[in-house]
Amino acid sequence: MDIFRSGYSPWRNFDWRLFLTGLVLSLLGLLTVAATHNPAQLKRQIISLALGLILFFVATALDFRKFSRAAEILFGLSVFLLIVVLNLGQTVYGAQRWINLAGFTFQPVELAKLSLIFMLAKFFEQRQGKLDTIFDILPGFVLVGAPFFLTYKQPDLGSAVVLLVIFFLMAYWAGMKFSRLFMLTSPLLSILALYTLPVYPLLSWGIYLALIFAALWLLHFPLLDSAIYFSLNFFSGLFSSFFWRSLSLYQRNRILSFINPDIDPLARGLRYHTVKSVIAVGSGGFWGKGYLQGSLTNLQYIPQQHTDFIFSVIGEEFGFWGALLTVFLLFYLLSRVYTIAAQSGDAFGRYLTAGILALLGFQIIINIAMNIGLAPVVGLPLPFLSYGGTALIISWVSLGLVQSVRMHQRAIEL
């Protein structure tokens, strides 16, 4: 049936709650960036927000299924840009993550996150829930490999982990059992067992391997799958020194200082960012010090307070209630995305929305956690709030795609 002849308009299904929540968060982000007293950054953030809103409505108006046909092109382009940034990118704070375009910096990994979601949504749609063995999921895991490796080399460990989280949550949404997802991630635990535990790491690794073997036996994994999973754990531990040393020194130190704070008891080096952020959040009390009145913010005590540590500015100036309201808005936004994903009758749309839920949700949780000392510093922005044009624009494009899934459902049914 022709939906236009029927008089049906997809815009009737526009989710105003989703849009307005994102807009309120973005406006709060502008206020917070302004509080860091950098007019040039505020101007660029306003321009990025305007462009993000335009692209939001463009993505909303387009039928989300068109992105299934363009998935390979977008994915190929994002991988190409990740290669370019490794060779010609702008280096800031020891990381080569940005391409300079006519005075504006662009971060290719943000596009890579979204294009990976398109590819995985298409992959899982074609699988139709058949994810019983490691060979069923292997092509999807390979898709993550190229952008993961290129992002890891920048180095940008936080964004590389985001790519993995997108894959795992989408795989779970597509029907893969949690036990199999755990086994896919278990080799990382082998490395951590050997290089982050303060006492008896070799013994801990041996116990861990025994537990993996027992779990594979008790959960009745296929014999070939069991052999592969156990081998991955064994060899990842055996070559853990290579993997661990492939991290930059500051990345290793951040992980170690988080696990064992006694490494930097006075917080003058490795834990400086985290401790200052926690102090700022706590110093705001219940009601905050007042807008533009935060002493730690005004004196620039917290490095990267406009990006990674934007939440500390909110905590100091708006207090507990301001921080709580911010958290509520962020998780309300995620709840709307989850609802739309759960209600989608189209497989590609369902997996696409689930991927966006993983993208936004993981960054929100980790950013807030590292601002209050519950996670190591990994350099992830707070969606809609942190300064950063590329991240803000991609966040709004992501919301536009979620709106498209909601709005064009009727068209699918007709």
Measured CA to CA in angstroms, residue 86 lies from 35, 77, 82 at distances of 33, 14, 6
What are the tokens at 94? 């020891």
Q: How many residues does the chain have?
A: 414
- The verdict on whether omega for the bond into residue 147 sits within 30 degrees of 0, i.e. cis, is no
Higher pLDDT, residue 142 or 399? 399
285 within a domain of the structure (yes/no): yes
* Structural domains of the chain, count: 1
55 within a domain of the structure (yes/no): no
Measured CA to CA in angstroms, residue 390 lies from 34, 97, 189 at distances of 18, 12, 32
pLDDT for 31: 93
24 within a domain of the structure (yes/no): yes
Q: Sorting pLDDT into bands at 50, 70 and 90, what band is 130? A: confident
Place of tokens 């130190």: 253
pLDDT at 67 > cutoff 60: yes
pLDDT at 33 > cutoff 80: yes
pLDDT at 368 > cutoff 90: yes
309 within a domain of the structure (yes/no): yes
284 within a domain of the structure (yes/no): yes
**With pLDDT > 70 as the criterion, what percentage of the chain qualifies?**
91
Q: Choose from 109-113, 259-263, 274-278 the range with maximum mean pLDDT.
A: 109-113
Place of tokens 């803000």: 392
**With pLDDT > 90 as the criterion, what percentage of the chain qualifies?**
46
Rounded mean pLDDT, 91-116: 81
294 within a domain of the structure (yes/no): yes
Tell me how far apart the alpha carbons of residues 104 and 66 are, in angstroms, rounded to a whole number: 29
pLDDT for 267: 59
124 within a domain of the structure (yes/no): no
403 within a domain of the structure (yes/no): yes
Tell me how far apart the alpha carbons of residues 119 and 67 are, in angstroms, rounded to a whole number: 9
pLDDT at 414 > cutoff 50: no
What are the tokens at 33? 């960036």
Domain that holds residue 382: 1-36+271-346+360-414
Tell me how far apart the alpha carbons of residues 115 and 118 are, in angstroms, rounded to a whole number: 5
Alpha-carbon radius of gyration of the chain: 22
Rounded mean pLDDT, 21-30: 96
pLDDT at 5 > cutoff 50: no
pLDDT for 410: 55
pLDDT at 213 > cutoff 90: yes
pLDDT for 10: 65
